[in-house]
Structure 1
């Protein structure tokens, strides 16, 4: 190889080497840029995470209160206790005699902790051995119990502050309040429907920790406090709710019922003062109740109302001027309509000459069918809908049923008449109680509600919006109907058991057979709806007892509970006794 060629080859090798060096520098530089500019923040955060610990500060859940501010549901502070296994193994009791007795490390810590936590010391000690910086040892300690643990002075024993939902009144209004699940969110009742308001916003605390996970007192510390949830004020009167629950439980037990319910509604406002279901759930121990018994059948279970369903027919007849309280009616025990459908009264009787008041007092099916013949199906259907049947009221509880009122175009030749006396439709107790409240309110329907307002975390109270009333019938028609309904609780009516001493009561009884789903019948239900005082109605009450033994007539099974609760409610609210007598209306003609 010539000298020139040798020089040229060497020069080429130098250029290649230089290119390789430059390429390596570019790769290294690029990686350095990537680490510093791209991965730098991530790596810095990872390093930060290794030397810090962030703990969630659970937001206190808002309270649920009754109408007077009595607590129905609240949250109390509880502590979960954990152990830093790396720190606790260095534990040595400060008392030499104690150290000699129980030793040191996890075993000694377990020996001291076990009596306080109610745990087996050997099992507890086994859970305290390892390399983890946090392992749960116990949950749900009261503040006093945590102080007892803290006073032991064991390194590595750390608290986690949390809360527990408490229902101080047991089963009282349990079907209304509802309950929360493991995660602290509502699963039923107001706890569910108002969950978003009741749930606050969690905060957090970040602290700097050492290599063993111990908190560095002088290190980084950042805290964002939790924001509590709002408190919900229900319209429930706790004392009245107690009386209502006891009354319906007694009625169901006495008559061998499957279930029962009772509602008290304030006339003119729609405020539900008591909503009682038999065998009400205890929200603090809801797992002990069957799922179907944890809600409220008063709003979720529709049934054929039976004779309380005659009230819309009589109200419409009065509104249209077809009858007055003392209009004459011929009432046979059997009646055949123009389309060939035959209907009968509950008991055989000779043809009677009664007033409209007398027909309502004896709860005659044949008289009611005659009224329906004189009306259009469209008008009767409209009356049902205006009174709140066939639609949900919007009450602030989950699972409300709309009941069933088929379009009148779909009524067959028989159903068009059975609907006039409470068969062929279904409705909830809430709907039937609201119907009574509408009659007592001069014909103005006000949607029922069970939330009175909300207190925000800053302490400001925001009342619930008052729903607007809708005129269903005239004050004149409802005044006449109330006078007629007073005769239902007279000794010769179907519901004398619902009379309240000292007060005039306007009411209607209902008895219905229960379909078994296979074309037969499996029992009866008895119901009772009414208002008092009849001359100036303040309260409406509805009662139903489902599948009672025996005849299960509404006056017999539901009337006494109505009278007991109505009497208590009127006296408790300071409603003065009636001073004017019931209007004198003829029952029979001639």
Structure 2
């Protein structure tokens, strides 16, 4: 009996020890939960009762320069499935299958998932919303979101870009200004009971969001429409892969229009091929062809190696480093002033002028005009253009650069560079966005016009503009002329290598009241017999410019003469040998000559043309501090054939060449082939009969 009692007592003690141990564990656990780690469990308890709702911000609107809305945000319905509430998923899926952009299997899989709620299709059209709502499907509901909408459809689509389903910008200004346009989402915190009902006196907190900022552009919706319409019209007349038009206010860099074709509707961008999304005015490069001659002319005039009255010759070709460079004219233009070279768009003439500048000088002007670098217009994927590295440029490359071959530029680079000529020589940064409106005038982001650099002087810019006017008046750009308006410009035609395909262009400077507009038209990859810029791009320019001037209420003025007036006065070149550079230059300028100084010496040791030569007023006299500098110059040989002896001798002296006459009458042969470049000391034998 005693052993039994002892055994019971031991069991009781054991059970008591176990219970006591468990009790200690529970106490320690309670201390851990209630004291040591109480904050964490309070947070978990609260999170079970508190529901956080995201409050979407509204994306900012985009306006043109007159305040017209061209990108807005509208409410849109999103189809939501509540799987727990769907009684017959097969029937529901079959009802939605023909209406939604997803198939039956995908719908069924989603509406039978474990999720409390799931999106089926976001931001649907109102018509589709009405159809689905009319079916009154159990477990199918809607939530409201914000949807980007472009009221004018395709208008300015390449500038605006588009947004994705989550309202983030994917292209164009929507992408590059996404941070400003998208705003910041807010949230609402609400405390609920176990049944999901809001607790009347529970936690309720709102964290406000911020709507996106509105953006004001430089684009004029009407001018943009006109530009796009002209490209559309051109598609009906010519066979080409696409086109670009840029209208730029040269005084401040404002882009009034930037149109491209092919185009797309940003409201339905997914229905178009990717190539339609490309903003070719920004993203693509092309050989500018003869439009680049404006850069060559402005650079040479600024550098003082040429004036509009200097005499040049074109025997239909010129030889550079053994290569023949031809003129578009089969027979050439013969003797002509530089003003006529510009008017006639003569390649050999521009080569001769370009080679008067050394490589370093011409290359520096190409870079100064902004080629080979981004303009900073702030659109996605802006190309830099293709300018060969300085070390890889030889005489041939330098020669072809003068007429726009061998390098590639973007349309926006070309428009900005020619705007510098129109704007007193000041290169402006192209501007698309004027202002980002933050809702607080003191914090608004203002994009003021920005001068990048002074490229050429005002006098050179003015002279270049005058010379370009004659191109439109009587030269290769007559198809761009508009009666009563002052227009200067240049055509361009660049052939693709190894293909009968061309890029044709025209760029014009148009006087419009108190400002000059620069308008560039490009048609890419033209096929067929009609491909010259004068035949294709120039008429597009004329039609567009006429409409723009009418819209801006710029009245024609027939009292002004359009074009450069030549001064046919001839002057005799004085003898400057032995004079100081300073004195010689002063005397020459006083007499009506342009002067180019070569060398670092103080005295004139050689000159070109030689003394007593009769040449044009304001033509260039070269002064050398060392005779070797003159000897190193290579001079283009004219075609003397058919000229009277006196005329041939006079032309040779004006060019700085030595000729020896054999016989009398007219020249019937010459010992150096026309277009060759030789030293001034080499004699040219002329056979006369």
TM-score bracket relative to the smaller structure = 0.7 to 0.9
- Deviation digits for residues 354-408 of structure 1 (CA, Å, limit 9, x no counterpart): 1111111111110011011211111111111111111100102111111011233
**Match 2:295 to one of 297, 308, 312:** 312
Is 1:582 matched up with 2:582? no
SS state at 2:270 partner = helix
Confirm or deny that 1:438 pairs with 2:401. no
Kindly tell me: are residues 583 and 461 of structure 1, through their superposed partners in 2, closer, same or farther at Cα, counting changes over 3 Å? same
Could you tell me which of 205, 222, 231 is aligned with 2:205?
Answer: 222
Alpha carbons of 1:138 and 1:397: their partners in 2 closer, same or farther (altered >3 Å)? closer
| RMSD (Å), alpha carbons | 3.9
Corresponding position of 1:392: 374
Q: Tell me, yes or no, if structure 1 residue 473 matches structure 2 residue 456.
A: yes
Q: Deviations over 1:292-343 (max 9, x none)?
A: 2202001111111111111111111111222222322212201123x33321
TM-score by length of 1: 0.84
Aligned residues of 1:358 and 1:586 also touching (Cα < 8 A): no
Aligned positions of 1:92-491 closer than 5 A: 133-136=116-119, 139-140=122-123, 160-209=143-192, 211=194, 213=196, 220-337=203-320, 339-350=321-332, 352-458=334-440, 461-490=444-473
Query: What residue number does 1:3 align with?
Result: none
- Ranges in structure 2 where 5+ consecutive residues have no aligned partner: 1-5, 569-615, 617-646, 648-689
Report the Cα distance in structure 1 between the residues aligned to 2:411 and 2:567, rounded to whole angstroms.
29
Distance in 2, matches of 1:462 and 1:196, equals 13
Distance in 2, Cα, partners of 1:370 & 1:399: 37
Partner of 1:69: 67
Measured at CA, do residues 46 and 240 of structure 1 come closer, stay the same or move farther in structure 2, by a change above 3 Å? same
- 1:28-39 mapped onto 2 (5 Å cutoff): 28-37=26-35
State the partner residue of 2:586: none
Instruction: Give the C-alpha shift of residue 500 in structure 1.
Output: 2.1
Give how far 1:555 is off.
1.4
Secondary structure of 2:509's counterpart equals strand
3-state secondary structure, aligned to 2:377: coil
Q: How many residues align?
A: 556
1:445/1:533 CA distance change after superposition, 3 Å: same
Unaligned runs of 5+ in 1: 1-6, 90-104
Q: Could you say which residue in structure 2 is the equivalent of 1:100?
A: none
How far 1:144 moved relative to its partner? 11
Q: Which has the higher strand share?
A: 2
Per the TM alignment, residue 551 of structure 1 is displaced from its structure 2 partner at its CA by 4.0
Look at both structures and tell me which one has the larger radius of gyration over its CA atoms.
Answer: 2
More off after superposition, 535-544 vs 432-441:
535-544
Alpha carbons of 1:190 and 1:38: their partners in 2 closer, same or farther (altered >3 Å)? farther
SS at match of 1:554: coil
Looking at structure 2, the residues matched to 307 and 168 of structure 1 have their Cα atoms a distance apart, in angstroms, of: 39
Query: Higher relative CO (CA 8 A, sep ≥ 6), structure 1 or 2?
Result: 1
Deviations 1:143-194 (A, max 9, x none): 9998999999999876533111101000000000000112211110000000
Give how far 1:557 is off.
1.0
1:485-533: CA deviation from partner (whole Å, max 9, x where unpaired): 111112x411111112321101011110113xxxx23511111111112
Report whether the alignment pairs 1:555 with 2:538: no
TM-score, scaled relative to structure 2: 0.72
The answer to whether the 8 Å contact 2:51/2:191 transfers is yes
**Deviation of the 1:131 alpha carbon:** 7.9
Check whether the contact 2:230–2:544 (CA below 8 A) recurs between aligned residues. yes
**Structure 2 vs 1, CA of residues 145 and 561 (structure 1 numbering), >3 Å: closer, same or farther?**
closer
C-alpha distance in 1 between matches for 2:209 and 2:452: 41
Q: Is contact 1:505–1:534 with CA below 8 Å preserved after alignment?
A: no
Q: Matches of 1:539 and 1:279 in 2, distance apart?
A: 25
